[in-house]
Amino acid sequence: MAHRSAITGRYISNAAAARHPRTTVTEAGSNKSAGTHNRSAITGRYISDAAAARHPKTSVTETGK
């Protein structure tokens, strides 16, 4: 599994993910849905565009194919 920082968008190591769990998103598989979706790095749930704009350091925008 790959870990991505919600702040920078870059992939990070397992150790860095363990140190910063609230700002890390663990990716499993691929995003196969169409469109753009926002996900909270803290809860892992999908959030609205407005919520993602309010919390840019703890949300990740996923773009489908």
pLDDT at residue 32, as a whole number: 61
pLDDT band for 1, please (50, 70, 90 cuts): confident
**Rama region for 26: left / alpha / beta (φ>0; ψ in -120 to 50; rest):** beta
pLDDT at residue 65, as a whole number: 63
- Taking the complete model, does pTM exceed 0.85, yes or no? no
3-state SS class at 3 = strand
The string of DSSP letters for 32-50 reads -SSSEEEEETTT--EE-HH
Residues sharing a CB contact under 8 Å with residue 59, sequence separation 6 or more, in sequence order:
6, 38, 39, 40, 41, 47, 51, 52
pLDDT at residue 49, as a whole number: 93
Q: What is the pLDDT of residues 5-64, one digit of tens each?
A: 888 888 999 999 999 988 888 877 665 667 888 989 888 889 999 999 999 999 988 887
Supply φ then ψ for residue 44, to 5 degrees.
Answer: 85, 0
